[in-house]
């Protein structure tokens, strides 16, 4: 037996089939695990209608970024009560049970019967209320960290099911590459090598005003304006045409019908995006906002665009240059 292992009996539950079996499997003793937690952009987002369960159906292409948060997990030993403790370097981030990191820890413990309590340290860089998937990405980072600490009792499909239980857009973060999302976001399909090559590595400027947009509010607004929905057939046709045309650049894919409701309330968004188009950019809003982005040519100087953003939105705005992962 390796000196870095202790002979514990792990209870592995096949929770998808309702069966349980005990497997003699030593848990590796790992002092800490650190997981990168990327932001994402919705390069294409077509909300197609409201479902009977209250969620919305969508067709979306989402791409992770090479920039984001960092989550470190350290086991504290077996214990009762909450399965985790969370600290964060951003005081605005809630660190109670409302945070998806701790909800992920509770769900993981329930599914796997792993009894360790875990101390999480979140290095936060993704702004909240941005439409960049920060909370969902953190939840998936927590699942990945816990699975490694516990000796990987869950395979990739099992992790994807847990991720979908935590949030509609959580599962996309398990792919580590651009994906197509369908349903309420839980049905994830990798984009494919040819289409992925037109996205991965593209430079992008991400920017957000001081205010955020609540996702629930945005979806309530579009539900009240059915004309803003994009028919599912039209959404799929747009995506299929872009995937089929190997010469179509990433810019030809971009669209987001949640802009309709967000722009109607927050005029600072369409005003700035109009100014940036005058600079030759093709900016869009990501998700439900308020973060927006502009893809950059490989040799472009991002400084003029960044300066235009700061001039319009002031020093309190957020600006970050990165690449699509």
Catalytic site positions: 40, 169
Distance of alpha carbon 83 from alpha carbon 145, whole angstroms: 13
User: For residue 163, what are the contacts with CB-CB under 8 A and spacing of at least 6?
Assistant: 139, 140, 143, 170, 171, 173, 174
Question: Alpha carbon of 26 to those of 11, 29, 149, 271: distances in Å?
Answer: 11, 9, 11, 59
- DSSP state at residue 92: T
Closest CA to 292 of 316, 314, 265, 262: 262
Backbone φ and ψ for 103, nearest 5 degrees, come out as -65, -35
The alpha carbon of 289 is separated from its chain's Cα centroid by a whole number of angstroms, namely: 13
């Amino acid at each position: 037996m390796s000196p870095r292992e202790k002979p514990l009996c792990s209870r592995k539950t096949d929770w998808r089939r309702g069966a349980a079996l005990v497997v003699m499997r030593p848990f590796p003793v790992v002092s800490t695990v650190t997981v990168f937690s990327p932001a994402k952009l919705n390069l294409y987002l077509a909300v197609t209608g409201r479902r009977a369960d209250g969620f919305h159906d969508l067709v979306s292409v989402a791409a992770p970024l090479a920039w984001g948060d960092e989550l470190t997990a350290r086991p504290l030993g077996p214990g009762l009560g909450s399965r985790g403790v969370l600290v964060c370097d951003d005081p605005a981030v809630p660190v109670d049970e409302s945070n998806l990191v701790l909800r992920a820890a509770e769900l993981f413990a329930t599914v796997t019967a792993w009894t360790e309590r875990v101390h999480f340290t979140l290095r936060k860089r993704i702004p909240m209320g941005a439409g960049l998937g920060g909370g969902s990405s953190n939840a998936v980072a927590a699942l990945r960290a816990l699975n490694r600490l516990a000796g990987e009792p869950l395979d990739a499909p099992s992790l994807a099911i847990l991720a979908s239980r935590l949030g509609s857009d959580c599962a996309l973060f398990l792919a580590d590459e651009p994906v197509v999302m369908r349903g309420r976001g839980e049905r994830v399909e990798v984009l494919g090598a040819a289409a992925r090559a037109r996205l991965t590595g593209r430079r992008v400027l991400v920017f957000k005003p001081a205010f955020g947009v609540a996702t629930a509010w945005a979806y309530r607004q579009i539900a009240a304006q059915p004309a803003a929905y994009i028919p599912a057939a039209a959404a799929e046709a747009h995506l299929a045409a872009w995937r089929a045309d190997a010469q179509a650049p990433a810019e030809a894919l971009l669209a987001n019908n949640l802009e309709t409701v967000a722009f109607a309330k927050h005029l600072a968004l369409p005003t700035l995006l109009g100014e940036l188009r005058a600079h030759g950019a093709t900016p869009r809003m990501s998700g439900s906002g308020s973060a927006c982005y502009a893809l950059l040519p490989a040799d472009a100087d991002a400084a003029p665009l960044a300066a235009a953003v700061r001039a319009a939105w002031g020093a309190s705005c957020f600006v970050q240059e990165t690449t699509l992962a």
